Structure 1
Amino acid sequence: MSAPSVELQGAIYAALKGDAPLMALISDVYDRVQRNDDGSAHASVWGAQQGYISFGPEFVIYEDAECLDLQEVNLQIDVWSRQVGRVHCKRIVAEARRVLLGVTELTDNALVLAEAPLSRITQDPDGLTTRGIIEIRYEVEGH
């Protein structure tokens, strides 16, 4: 049996990678992005689409009560686009959010709830990159 947050990340990764409309917009999905010496993303991660998705910060709230192992897993999914303007990033965010909310089943643990109450679009300080941030919350019952 896998830890709920580990199994959930695997399910999210597989769902994002397996979605053809989303993958047509981005080069790949990364848990850790390959970086240059200056900290910028390596040119290879951008791909021909000039966009990718990465896993951002995560925190888990444990709600152990009455023999239940319930975990609230809060994830940030980061969207990156180098296409001119914000439209490409917005399209990726919309598709990724659709996919994230479609993750409804796990193998070892029970997914109780998925909600994505917030997304943001920002300009990266480099002046070239548009960043999308999706905040998503899952409730998972461990077995």
Structure 2
Amino acid sequence: MVSVKKVQVAFDCAEPERVARFWCEVLGYVAPSPPEGFASWDDYNRSLPPEQRNSWFACSDPSGAGPRLYFQRVPEGKVVKNRVHLDVRVATGLVGAERLATLEAECARLIALGAVRERLLPADEENESVIVMQDIEGNEFCLS
């Protein structure tokens, strides 16, 4: 039986580098250095045929604990709700007003980066509060 060692989460998007850099800010991830022999990603992209330029970008958790995020350009835009989304866990272990205040503070920070707040899912008998948001290309994610 094969054991999974690493997971990569792939995003379809229109502007891979822009979306990747947004998620770097959200998660504290880092973008990789440009490929060997290139001073910058712009230099690398200029070396490619036009149809391949800016077609992908990636970022990773500098600690190595989280999954690598890979962003690939696709021709079609997003038209329906994501089938998979990220939960950005900023209030783990917090409840009630303390949890809500933490979620709201992070929501405000992410809005300043270009995210959009969709709605608050208030706490109920089974779940604590969650804020549903969208990234800069409309991909849903939750602050939890």
Q: Which has the higher strand share?
A: 1
TM-score, normalised on structure 2?
Answer: 0.37
TM-score, normalised on structure 1?
Answer: 0.37
Q: Highest Rg: 1 or 2?
A: 2
